[in-house]
Every structure is written in structure tokens, then in C-alpha cells.
Amino acid sequence: MSLELFSLEGRTALVTGSARGLGLAIARGLGKAGASIILNGTDAGRTAAAAVALAAEGLNATALAFDVANDEAVLAAFARLDAEGREVDILVNNAGIQFRKPMLDLDPADWRRVIDINLTSAFLIGREAARRMIARGRGGKIVNIGSLMSEVARPTVAPYTAAKGGIKLLTRSMAAEWAEHGIQSNAIGPGYMATDMNEALMNDPKFDSFVKGRTPTRRWGLPEELVGAAVFLASPASNYVNGQIIYVDGGMLAVL
Ligand code: GCO
């Protein structure tokens, strides 16, 4: 079997929230598979530094800082890509924040912020990318980043859970509307991964013990362990896969 099936040569991938964490690991992996990478973050300096770091590794990486939850910023970002002649063939909707507080104590503004960044941004950016993929007539790939919380809940993370549950069904909506245009829209559901966002949890002996006990693999996941699923869903290897979510969770969702 040819590895061409998993090659991203000649393709351009926009990865949101990729100045660090899971997004940066996924962007690096897509770059190593041959894609030209457009990194995104809200902090222009940090995003530019990440692009320089990937370029120093021999990857084709540039930075595009914009607020993924701001309608006008998203439109302006795609207008800039249009003006530069850059065509997004692969979109990874990874941007997301976490906000841990019981619902009874949650400020509605914090609820809305999590929903806007973790879910609405995927709709806003997904449709700008799809609009152009459809107009070009050669399809494309959309990979939304879900979570264990696309399936199950735990106390104190309601907005994140609602958003990630929405990501699962938004992915299916994208498949429903855009598959006929040659666009494959799928998702990845990371398990408990060793990232900055989870540092507080990793440093909590009780939660660390919970994760290691509840996960059959008995450890936290590494961000680079998402790369295989990301390259698969971004490559021709997944041309007949649509509306699916692949859990990279060490088996946590598979067992009681
Ligand atoms: C939490 C964590 C989780 C993980 C991940 C699991 O507070 O429970 O932040 O949400 O980050 O999303 O898939």
C-alpha cells in the first residue's frame, strides 16, 4: 500500500488555536506529512514565534493571528488569505478554552465566551473554508476537535461539555450539507491529554489518580498522539469517511 494515501503534499492546512498545545502538535504533524501550515492564535507574537519554530524544523509554516469567535475577524482573515492567493484545503477547528465552575455559580458571560470560542468559531470558520472549497470545486477536509465531553459530562465543565457535544453534531451537519461537494467533515475526540489547559488537573494527585485509574492505558495522552488521526482525516485515506468522530483517549470511553 502506498503511503501517498496519507500524503498532504501540495495542500494548505489552517489549524486554529495552534500557537501551543494540541493545535501546535497537530499542525506540526500535518506539516511533516507535507502540508503548508497556517498557524492561528489570538496572540500575534506567540503565533508568529510558533511559526518561526516550525519553520526552523524545516516545515512550511506561517502565522495568521485572529479572534476565532469574532465574526468580522474571521471574515477579515479569509479576505487576507484570498488576497494572498492562499487556499485552505484542510481546516482543523481546534481553538478552545476551558472554564471550570459549577453552573449555579457560572456568569452567563463566561458560558457565552466558552460556547463562542469552542463551538461557534467552528461554524464561522468552517463555513468560510467550505464556501471557498465548494467554489474551487475540488473538495476539502474539515477536522473538528471534540473531547471526551462530546460524549460524557463531569461536574464544573458544563459550557465546555455543551460546546464539545455541539462539535460532534456540528460535524455531522457539515457532512450533511457539504459531503456532496467533496468535503469530508470529521472530528477527533482527545482524551485526557498532557497540555497547559490540563496542568491544574495533572498536578492534582486525586484527579491524576482518577485519570490513570479510569483510562485502560493508565496514563495521560501526549499531544503528538493525535497526529495519526489528524493526518488520516486530513488525507485522501479518509475520502469516504464523513460525519465521524475518532476518540484518541487511551480507551477511556470504551470501558466502565
Ligand atoms: C476537564 C478537562 C477535559 C479535557 C478534555 C477531555 O476539565 O475535564 O479539561 O475537558 O481537557 O477535553 O477530552
**Alpha carbon nearest to ligand 1 atom 3, residue:** 192
pLDDT at 113: 98
What separation in Å is there between the alpha carbon of 172 and the centre of ligand 1? 22
The H or E element containing residue 132 is helix 121-136
User: Is residue 122, in this structure, part of any structural domain at all?
Assistant: yes
User: Is residue 132, in this structure, part of any structural domain at all?
Assistant: yes
> pLDDT truncated to tens, each residue of the chain (256 aa)?
677 999 999 999 999 999 999 999 999 999 999 999 999 999 999 999 999 999 999 999 999 999 999 999 999 999 999 999 999 999 999 999 999 999 999 999 999 999 999 999 999 999 999 999 999 999 999 999 999 999 999 999 999 999 999 999 999 999 999 999 999 999 999 999 999 999 999 999 999 999 999 999 999 999 999 999 999 999 999 999 999 999 999 999 999 9
Q: Tell me which residues are annotated as active site.
A: 160
Q: Which residues line ligand 1 (CB under 6 A)?
A: 98, 100, 147-149, 154, 157, 160, 190-192, 197-198, 201
User: Is residue 233, in this structure, part of any structural domain at all?
Assistant: yes
> How many structural domains is the chain composed of?
1
What separation in Å is there between the alpha carbon of 176 and the centre of ligand 1? 28
β-sheet bridge partners, residue 229: none
Q: Taking the model in full, what pTM does it have?
A: 0.98
**Alpha carbon nearest to ligand 1 atom 2, residue:** 198
List the CATH number of the domain containing 198. Answer: 3.40.50.720
User: Is residue 156, in this structure, part of any structural domain at all?
Assistant: yes
CA distances from 59 to 108, 228, 243 (A): 41, 18, 30
User: Is residue 36, in this structure, part of any structural domain at all?
Assistant: yes
The H or E element containing residue 143 is strand 140-145
pLDDT at 71: 97
DSSP 250: T
Closest ligand 1 atom to residue 195 Cα is 11
User: Is residue 256, in this structure, part of any structural domain at all?
Assistant: no
User: Is residue 29, in this structure, part of any structural domain at all?
Assistant: yes
Q: Which domain holds residue 116?
A: 3-251
User: Is residue 211, in this structure, part of any structural domain at all?
Assistant: yes
Read off the C-alpha cell for 200: 491544574
What separation in Å is there between the alpha carbon of 55 and the centre of ligand 1? 30
